[in-house]
């Protein structure tokens, strides 16, 4: 049957719904809630019409997501030219809904991050509610992450710069916890361009700072990361935000650490520590991160007792903060402490801390840090002479990096596996 004829035979309400769905970010593999959010239909009418259109062959179920329900795709090309004037309105409604959902998920995973300005214009569809569950929040962000690029394309095309910037901002925890750093950097480059088109100073500063967070762990990216952090620091200083400027100085120290310029990192962090006001939540968190960085840098310099002291101080001083608000960084502090113990010849203590870190990362669903911890366990086992355990941990770390597409990490681990296999033969 001719596609246009097939479309014309559908009820007027079905034609209108399909015509609106066709303007959603392509390809539309969306849920009933996505559809209702992007159209002027109520959720109840959308659900009824989608069921009817699926039976009539105009839509097809392409999957089921635990958080989003059934996902559909459009089977009739005629829908795409039915109502071209509706495109801007449909995209605006859809982005409002998606930003609200992503913000709800992101807030559960990173409660310390201050959201960007956003004014929703449509609110007829209740957004996704993670109900305080980190598992649900993570699941929603990961399930919708493949659609982010198309959503940003639509935001750029329709001038929805505020919505696009907010989407990038809200997907930070999913990108930072589960994806290779280069992928996160690519998304935040788009976020920076959207923020600059929007013209919001807070958003521009945030995009520079977060782009630097990803770039500093991309091979060859530390110089560019320092440039972005420096711009963020200058913007904060110009705005009179002294505390934020200190935060960006700490981030520059993190770039030095990532570039293995550990002396520069230690020097910068030692200068920053006295400037923190531990009566404020923001400075307490920054002080905690500075101590983790100091521990990592001193370990790399061979100052293992100093590293252990800083990392223990971090866990003791910020116990409540790390336990209740930032378990990810509790895991990082414990992982680096375990690494320092191992380098200092204290294998049992190393194993205890690294095991605790690994449990935290598994509970949080952070595969990249699970892989890092396995690598640290392998290195500690090797130094202690436990070659079978070393081989097991490093093999698992290499496989975990492979699943994430973290090629630089795989290349770092691979020679140690080769050496062991060669020795065994």
Distance CA 327, CA 356 (A): 11
Domain positions in the chain: 3-82, 276-365, 371-425
Rounded CA separation 52/89 (Å) = 24
Share of the chain above pLDDT 70, in %: 94
pLDDT digit string (tens) for 207-225? 999 999 999 989 899 999 9
Name the architecture of domain 3-82.
Answer: Orthogonal Bundle (1.10)
Q: Interior CA angle at 194 toward 192 and 198, to 5°? A: 115
Please report the pLDDT score of residue 406 as a whole number.
Answer: 85
Position 203 pLDDT exceeds 80: yes
Query: Which pair of structure tokens corresponds to residue 356?
Result: 């605790």
List of E strands, 52-92: 59-65, 69-74
Q: Indicate the CATH number of 276-365 among 3.30.420, 3.10.450, 1.25.40, 1.20.120.
A: 1.25.40
DSSP sequence for 330-377: HHHHHHHHHHHHHHTT-HHHHHHHHHHHHHHHHHHT-HHHHHHHHHHH
Reported as a single tens digit per residue, the pLDDT across 326-385 is 888 999 999 999 999 999 999 999 999 999 999 999 998 889 999 999 999 999 999 999
With cut-offs at 50, 70 and 90, classify the pLDDT of residue 291. Answer: very high
Topology match between the domains 3-82 and 276-365: no
| Residue 30: band (very low, low, confident or very high) from pLDDT cuts 50, 70, 90 | low
Least confident of 309-318, 319-328, 383-392: 319-328
Question: Which band of pLDDT confidence, cut at 50, 70 and 90, is reported for residue 1?
Answer: very low
151-183 per-position pLDDT tens digit? 999 999 999 999 999 999 999 999 998 888 899
Q: What is the mean pLDDT of residues 198-204?
A: 96
Predicted pLDDT at 350: 96
Say if residues 174 and 130 touch (Cβ distance below 8 Å).
no
Report pTM: 0.82
Q: Does residue 121 register a pLDDT over 90?
A: no
Residues 399 and 411: their CA atoms lie apart, in Å, by: 12
Predicted confidence band of residue 28 (pLDDT cuts 50, 70, 90):
low
Residue 212 and residue 232 in contact, taking contact as beta carbons nearer than 8 Å: yes
């Amino acid at each position: 049957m001719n596609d246009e004829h097939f479309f014309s035979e559908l009820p007027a309400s079905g034609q209108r719904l399909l015509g609106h769905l066709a303007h959603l970010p392509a390809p539309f593999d969306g849920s009933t809630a996505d559809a209702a959010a992007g159209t002027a239909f109520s959720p109840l009418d959308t659900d009824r019409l989608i069921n009817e259109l699926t039976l009539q062959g105009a839509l097809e179920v392409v999957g089921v997501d635990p958080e989003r329900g059934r996902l559909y795709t459009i089977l009739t090309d005629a829908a795409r030219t039915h109502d071209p004037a509706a495109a801007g309105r449909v995209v605006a409604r859809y982005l409002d809904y998606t930003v609200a959902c992503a913000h709800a998920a992101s807030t559960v995973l990173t409660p310390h991050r201050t959201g960007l300005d956003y004014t929703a214009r449509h609110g007829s569809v209740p957004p996704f509610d993670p109900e305080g569950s980190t598992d649900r929040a993570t699941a929603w962000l990961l399930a919708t992450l493949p659609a982010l690029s198309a959503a940003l394309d639509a935001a750029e095309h329709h001038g929805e710069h505020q919505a696009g910037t907010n989407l990038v901002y809200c997907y930070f925890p999913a990108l930072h916890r589960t994806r290779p750093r280069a992928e996160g950097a690519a998304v935040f480059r788009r976020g920076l361009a959207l923020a600059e088109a929007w013209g919001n100073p807070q958003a521009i500063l945030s995009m520079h700072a977060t782009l630097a967070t990803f770039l500093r762990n991309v091979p060859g990216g530390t110089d560019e990361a320092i440039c972005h952090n420096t711009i963020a620091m200058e913007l904060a200083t110009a705005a009179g935000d002294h505390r934020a400027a200190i935060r960006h100085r700490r981030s520059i120290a993190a770039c030095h650490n990532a570039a293995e310029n550990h002396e520069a990192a230690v020097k910068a962090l030692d200068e920053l520590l006295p400037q923190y006001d531990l009566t404020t939540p923001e400075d307490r968190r920054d002080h905690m991160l500075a101590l983790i960085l100091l521990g990592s840098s001193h370990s790399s310099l061979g100052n293992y007792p100093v590293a252990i002291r800083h990392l223990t101080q971090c866990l003791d001083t910020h116990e409540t903060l790390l336990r209740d608000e930032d378990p990810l960084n509790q895991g990082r502090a414990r992982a680096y402490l375990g690494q320092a113990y191992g380098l200092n010849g204290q294998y049992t203590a190393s194993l205890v801390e690294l095991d605790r870190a690994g449990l935290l990362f598994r509970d949080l669903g952070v595969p990249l840090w699970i892989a890092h911890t396995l690598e640290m366990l392998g290195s500690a086992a090797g130094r202690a002479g436990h070659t079978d355990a070393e081989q097991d941990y490093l093999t698992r770390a290499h496989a975990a990096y492979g699943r994430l597409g973290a090629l630089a990490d795989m290349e770092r681990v691979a020679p140690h596996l080769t050496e062991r296999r060669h020795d065994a033969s």
